[in-house]
Structure 1
């Protein structure tokens, strides 16, 4: 599977127009981040969907910062405010503005280094 194609398809499913050169650059940026953080030569196949989400999040983040992504038009109906695991509790950001919901979505897609920890190798 190809991260670039999957990320483009995912962004298009969000209703976002995709700029080819920008998304190609972000794919390489995300791959480099994963390789550098994990101290590995190739992105593991198990991180494929994590990488796709990271690419989508980074693309949306950059488009938002460039003013090319309007939070009022972007279709984010509900964002999760918090999740508790014990006795499963999910809180939604019902009163959040469209901009806040978009920012939450972007932060979630961009992921954290915690997502990559299981693949991290020591560097000698």
Structure 2
């Protein structure tokens, strides 16, 4: 099974194959950078696919026309507060996904001298 097949099976309405391949390559580069490797070990196949699915869901959630989630509602003078996705300065969506999978990726990390 390939990462593309796994991602397609995980998503209800997957984007086009071209867009999926772009996301897969983007996440693959983040894995290689995080692990200081030139390849992605076969053992990371499902982790790679899960990271792509999380990346796609994060992108869909952060789209400008997507409805923000309600954080709190005050009934007295009707006040609604919406949540906003916060990420550290300069951090991309791919880096935030890689950070959430760091425990799985540490096992395959190579030291750089």
Q: TM-score range by the shorter chain?
A: 0.5 to 0.7
| 1:71-90 equivalent positions in 2, closer than 5 A | none
**Structure 1 stretches of 5 or more lacking a match?**
72-109
- 1:42 is displaced (CA, Å) by 1.1
Give the match for residue 29 of structure 2.
Answer: 32
TM-score of the superposed pair, with normalisation by structure 2 = 0.63
Indicate yes or no: 2:110 matched with 1:121.
yes
- 1:116 is displaced (CA, Å) by 0.2
Give the match for residue 52 of structure 2.
Answer: 55
Give the match for residue 7 of structure 1.
Answer: 7
- 1:41 is displaced (CA, Å) by 1.3
- 1:112 is displaced (CA, Å) by 2.1
**Structure 2 stretches of 5 or more lacking a match?**
69-96
- 1:50 is displaced (CA, Å) by 0.5
Q: Looking at CA atoms only, which structure, 1 or 2, has the larger radius of gyration? A: 2
Identify, as 1 or 2, the structure richer in helix.
1
Give 4+ residue runs of structure 1 displaced > 4 Å after superposition: 67-71
* Cα root mean square deviation, aligned: 2.4
Tell me if structure 2 keeps the 8 A contact 1:60–1:69: no
